[in-house]
Structure 1
Amino acid sequence: MIIQILRVAFAFVGIIIGAGFASGQEVMQYFVSFGVDGIWGVIVSAVIMAVMALIILQLGSYFNAGEHGEVFRRVSHPVFSKILDIGVVVTLFSTGFVMFAGAGSNLNQQWGLPLWIGSVLMVFLVIAAGMLDVDKVTTVIGAITPFIIVFLTIASIYTLMKGDFSPVEQLDAAALAVGTTLPHWAVAAVNYVGFNLMVAVSMAVVIGGSMFNPRVAGRGGLVGGVILGFLIIISALTLFAAVEEVGQDDMPMLTIINNLSPVAGQVMAVVIYGMIFNTALGMFYALGRRLTAKNPERFRLVYVITVVVGFVLSFVGFKNLVGYVYPVLGYIGLLLIAVMMVAWVRGRVRIYNESDRRMRIADLLQIGHDGALSEAEQAVLRQEIQDSNLDEEQIKAAVKK
């Protein structure tokens, strides 16, 4: 169970930590740009993110969802469901092509390569990985996540322990000079969670839907949310401490790592590229699943087309895209937070009862696999399946995974 929880947790973190976060650009514009007040925003965002990660993964598992539209239709009014569905589709596509822009900026800042080279390479990687099934995609996304956790932690500890940064008042002034399109730190905090949930919800629902036990899925989401909250906090503190040096860079965290060690900077550039790949893959894979929900056999064709179109639109510029596209999507995400939280509060008793029921079903099916069930056990199994919100075929298919 612990391995399953960690697998889900790292996959969830991997979806969200893309070019914007791993590079430091998101944290810079959402939090550091408000100076000292931005730290309060970081704390608020971290708490809400952890709670919402649990809720989304658990709902995905409870409904055995294959794409986000299934969950929206079950938990909200048809009007809200449609708005959220459209909003998530736009978010998936927008964030996907922002990742292509980030891939170009990453290799350009580190090695001076033309922007199009990093973007084209990313397109080929995303198309190739998108041909895998959802379990393999989840594993690929989660496998890269620990590297960025290690690098961000090392960079942050080094920067904060070094202790040779300017007085807080001077750093505050430099941070305020960075500029942001958001009006207040409190708005930025909630908007940040809203945006990231819009980014994560589709693939998170798919990952949750692949988990048979909602309790395990929820715990994985909670652990992932806590890890993400920790990374947000240490990243914000680190960037604030170094804002005079890196405040105007496209990839401020990469600059910090390069200052720590040129060799570490080379490795960090590769790790950030991997995180960009994570998010781009998650966005376009979930988008393809949603667009082909009624015609799954067309997934690969639609997937390749959306990736190529996203690549063409990626040349607007990474920093501008983060500053203007992300906040707009974040406001739509406020509706998502409200809808999912209300749905979970109303249904939490059913969800936890269903979690216990599915554990019993899995145990009985395992006993039946290893040997014959007694008549009493068969009767219990039939009743448990009848009481479940999933039908028998869904249950047996899920248990086999």
Structure 2
Amino acid sequence: MSGAVASDGFFRRLVLPGLAFKAVVIGGGYATGREIAEFFVGSGQMGGLLGLLLAMAIWSIVCAVTFEFARQVQATDYRGFFAELLGPGWIAFEIAYVLFMILVIAVIAAAAGEIGTALFAWPTWIGTALLLGLIIAVVSRGTAAAERLFRYSSVLIYAVYALFLILALAAFGDQIGGKLAASTPGAGWVAGGVTYASYNVIGAALILPFLRHQSSRRDALYSGLLAGPLAMLPALGFFLSMIAFTPEIGEAALPSDFLLTRIGVPWFGFVFQAMIFVALLETGIGMVNALEERADAAVRSRGATLPATARIALSAAIVIGSGVLASKLGLIDLIASGYGVFGWIMLFLFVVPLLTLGTYRIITRPLEIAST
């Protein structure tokens, strides 16, 4: 029994934060492959791979510093975190975050609609409505419910991406190896990696409620460094599969569907699309939960609690409004017009202050105080 408890403690302290970070970034970051195509295909095969590895390194560093800074200032939600990091400027982050959250939920809602159409020939609104309804149902139950979902959904996601890469290598691995061997890094891979990392790394600040099991600097730093690989491994496998059909795959609305057609295993196509739906669900839950935990903290600071009906109403307002936006704009337009802008906004509101002011405060704070 004690071994099982220790193992679960290890998971909650060091692995769960990375799974939560993966959950927040996967839906808006690479679940359908559209985002990878937007930021990396144009840099060529080797350039795209280097850009993804650069983004992974940035994620690990920023997550590690974020987790430790949050632990030191005892921030359990993003509002408390940015009040310490930016002072009165925290409101600028919140405005940017709410707008970004609406954009991401609109993107995943549009993708869910397209998945429903591809699998069952549904009208797009049915897939969108199903996703948004499930987000509301889970988020209304709080962070503990999200933790349970992330634990089990992550097993499905990693297993399906691994099988996807295996089937892709079997079907067109010779094309992947040939193109990668002949490739040299193209222009823009550094900018692509930095921009992609910057708009996704906001997830490090959104998953602070999932750090409640940590108790030391080592927990924070180790889990942060592990978060980058945990979040990026499926994307790396996805990009390797895409290499066989670059650059034409860059024009596909759903690169995942493009590749599944060429893999030619019908039953796996169904499994993969269902997994993408779960990944989109993870992201929606992670982003909306962050806002609800922030609202709950504000209410608790006044000596009250946020009732379940209020949690349901808040999440419903967010996801339904975002779903309306998704119905007005296409998936490619949403990604191309919105993500790049927010990447630069988050770079200056979050990454730069964190790696300068935040790092300085961590280094100058006595270790014996920080590690208690």
TM-score, scaled to structure 2? 0.84
Partners of 2:135 and 2:250 lie apart in 1 by 30
Question: Hey, what does 1:269 align to over in structure 2?
Answer: 273
Structure with max Cα Rg: 1
1:323 aligns with 2:332: no
Confirm or deny: 8 A CA contact 1:159 1:241 kept in the other structure: no
Give the deviation of 1:25 after TM superposition. Answer: 1.0
Give the deviation of 1:271 after TM superposition. Answer: 0.7
Partners of 2:126 and 2:83 lie apart in 1 by 41
Residues 89 and 290 of structure 1: CA distance in aligned 2, closer, same or farther (over 3 Å):
farther
Give the deviation of 1:49 after TM superposition. Answer: 1.2
> Residue type of the partner of 2:188?
H
Partners of 2:277 and 2:360 lie apart in 1 by 40
1:72 aligns with 2:82: yes
Aligned residue for 1:124, secondary structure, equals helix
1:286 aligns with 2:290: yes
Question: Hey, what does 2:56 align to over in structure 1?
Answer: 46
1:339 aligns with 2:343: no
Partners of 2:121 and 2:68 lie apart in 1 by 44
Give the deviation of 1:126 after TM superposition. Answer: 0.9
Question: Hey, what does 2:224 align to over in structure 1?
Answer: 221
Partners of 2:352 and 2:368 lie apart in 1 by 23
> Residue type of the partner of 1:236?
F
Question: Hey, what does 2:5 align to over in structure 1?
Answer: none
Residues 250 and 19 of structure 1: CA distance in aligned 2, closer, same or farther (over 3 Å):
farther
1:165 aligns with 2:175: yes
Give the deviation of 1:245 after TM superposition. Answer: 6.7
Question: Hey, what does 2:318 align to over in structure 1?
Answer: 306
Question: Hey, what does 2:66 align to over in structure 1?
Answer: 56
1:139 aligns with 2:148: yes
> Residue type of the partner of 1:189?
G
> Residue type of the partner of 1:168?
K
Question: Deviation digits for residues 126-168 of structure 1, max 9, x if unmatched?
Answer: 1111111212212313421232222222222443464332753
Which residue among 119, 131, 152 is the counterpart of 2:161?
A: 152
Residues 142 and 59 of structure 1: CA distance in aligned 2, closer, same or farther (over 3 Å):
farther
Residues 98 and 163 of structure 1: CA distance in aligned 2, closer, same or farther (over 3 Å):
closer
Structure 2 stretches of 5 or more lacking a match?
A: 1-8, 300-304
Question: Hey, what does 1:197 align to over in structure 2?
Answer: 201
Count, aligned residues: 348
Confirm or deny: 8 A CA contact 2:135 2:284 kept in the other structure: yes
Give the deviation of 1:74 after TM superposition. Answer: 0.8
Question: Hey, what does 2:129 align to over in structure 1?
Answer: 120
Tell me: higher relative CO, structure 1 or 2? Use CA pairs within 8 A at least 6 residues apart.
2
Question: Hey, what does 1:2 align to over in structure 2?
Answer: 10
Give the deviation of 1:337 after TM superposition. Answer: 0.9
Aligned residue for 2:201, secondary structure, equals helix
Which residue among 349, 352, 356 is the counterpart of 2:371?
A: 356
Partners of 2:74 and 2:258 lie apart in 1 by 43
Residues 326 and 150 of structure 1: CA distance in aligned 2, closer, same or farther (over 3 Å):
same
Residues 121 and 229 of structure 1: CA distance in aligned 2, closer, same or farther (over 3 Å):
closer
Q: Which range moves more in the overlay, 140-149 or 95-104?
A: 140-149
Confirm or deny: 8 A CA contact 1:19 1:272 kept in the other structure: no
Confirm or deny: 8 A CA contact 1:60 1:209 kept in the other structure: no
> Residue type of the partner of 2:233?
F
Question: Hey, what does 2:246 align to over in structure 1?
Answer: 243
**Aligned-pair identity (%):** 21
Question: Deviation digits for residues 22-63 of structure 1, max 9, x if unmatched?
Answer: 111111111112223323212211211111122222333333
Which residue among 10, 27, 31 is the counterpart of 1:18?
A: 27
CA RMSD for the aligned pairs? 2.8
Confirm or deny: 8 A CA contact 2:18 2:228 kept in the other structure: yes
Residues 250 and 210 of structure 1: CA distance in aligned 2, closer, same or farther (over 3 Å):
farther
Question: Deviation digits for residues 181-200 of structure 1, max 9, x if unmatched?
Answer: xx9332211111110012x1
Partners of 2:113 and 2:183 lie apart in 1 by 31
Partners of 1:224 and 1:104 lie apart in 2 by 29
Confirm or deny: 8 A CA contact 2:260 2:269 kept in the other structure: yes
Question: Hey, what does 2:6 align to over in structure 1?
Answer: none
Question: Hey, what does 2:210 align to over in structure 1?
Answer: 207
Point out 4+ residue stretches in structure 1 off by more than 6 angstroms. Answer: 169-173
Confirm or deny: 8 A CA contact 1:32 1:38 kept in the other structure: yes
Partners of 1:137 and 1:107 lie apart in 2 by 23
Partners of 2:131 and 2:236 lie apart in 1 by 29
Structure 1 stretches of 5 or more lacking a match?
A: 177-182, 358-401
